[in-house]
Amino acid sequence: NAGVTQTPKFQVLKTGQSMTLQCAQDMNHEYMSWYRQDPGMGLRLIHYSVGAGITDQGEVPNGYNVSRSTTEDFPLRLLSAAPSQTSVYFCASSRGQSSYNEQFFGPGTRLTVL
Amino acid sequence: RKEVEQDPGPFNVPEGATVAFNCTYSNSASQSFFWYRQDCRKEPKLLMSVYSSGNEDGRFTAQLNRASQYISLLIRDSKLSDSATYLCVVPEKTSYDKVIFGPGTSLSVIP
């Protein structure tokens, strides 16, 4: 049981490049979410999903897209990277259809945009 | 008031000390809360849930003060391994299925 896995662990992009951060979970959780964490700020919700085929925006969705074609996978796409997207990105999953239950986090992706 | 606020610290305490953190929230309708622990450069992990009756797990006690809208985390007999950032999590005001993470309180336990 691997829990929540994320790839890559580190990434450096140039402004304007696009990329996809991968997230997968093997706990059969319905709820999955993406957060970004910046110094001095709490984790901020980017997008979330309450089940396969259903996604919704969080607090800071601009510049990011998601899809949820399977229960296990929830990739996050950066459309055109900007320096303001330099951050640590965490994927999380929880049982049920809300984040009120215990959230299990992946190890994070550290992204730098030059 | 922001939806959730925490004293960022850092709290520097000697081993064996008792330390307490508070977290204030603005959503008066909130019923359940969480404390997560985040080690340096690691992912957050659930420490404990907090309901109206509070919660206790070994050296850790969490309490809810609904009248003053804050939750507290008390750590007794601090260990070096308790050094981490403690994140308070509260329900989002406008949603029934999302939570808000506080900015965290940093704790360093010193030998």
The DSSP string of B57-109 is ETTEEEEEETTTTEEEEEE-S--GGG-EEEEEEEE-TT-SS-EEE---EEEEE
In the predicted model, what is the mean pLDDT of chain A? 95
Report pLDDT for B77. 98
Report pLDDT for B84. 97
Please tell me which residue of chain B has the smallest CA distance to A5.
B43
Q: Would you call A42 and B100 a contact, using CB atoms and an 8 Å cutoff?
A: yes
Distance from CA of A79 to the nearest CA of B (A): 25
Distance from CA of B48 to the nearest CA of A (A): 9
Task: Note whether B40 and B100 are within 8 A (CB).
Answer: no
Report pLDDT for A60. 96
Q: Would you call A42 and B8 a contact, using CB atoms and an 8 Å cutoff?
A: no
Tokens of A53: 């085929």
Task: Note whether A84 and A74 are within 8 A (CB).
Answer: no
B91 touches chain A (CB under 8 A): yes
Distance from CA of A81 to the nearest CA of B (A): 23
Report pLDDT for B2. 75
> How far are the Cα atoms of A54, A56, B38, B55 from residue A42, in angstroms, in the given order?
25, 20, 11, 23
Report pLDDT for B46. 96
Distance from CA of B76 to the nearest CA of A (A): 24
Report pLDDT for B27. 80
Q: Would you call A106 and B43 a contact, using CB atoms and an 8 Å cutoff?
A: yes
Assess whether pLDDT exceeds 80 at residue A4: yes
Write the pLDDT tens digit of every residue in B50-91: 988 889 999 999 999 988 999 999 999 999 999 999 999 998
Write the pLDDT tens digit of every residue in B33-48: 999 999 999 999 999 9
- In chain A, residues with a C-beta closer than 8 Å to the C-beta of B98 are 45, 48, 58, 98-99
Report pLDDT for A8. 97
Write the pLDDT tens digit of every residue in A6-56: 999 999 999 999 999 999 999 999 999 999 999 878 899 999 999 999 999
Closest CA to A78 of A92, A57, A62, A60: A62
Assess whether pLDDT exceeds 80 at residue A82: yes
The two beta strands, B60-65 and B70-75, are antiparallel
B66 touches chain A (CB under 8 A): no
Closest CA to B34 of A101, A82, A40, A33: A101
Q: How far apart are CA B31 and CA B50, in angstroms?
A: 9
Counted residue by residue, chain B has a size of 111
> How far are the Cα atoms of A25, B21, B62 from residue B13, in angstroms, in the given order?
37, 12, 19
Q: Who wins on pLDDT, B36 or A2?
A: B36
Please tell me which residue of chain A has the smallest CA distance to B105.
A40
Assess whether pLDDT exceeds 80 at residue A57: yes
Q: Would you call B4 and A45 a contact, using CB atoms and an 8 Å cutoff?
A: no
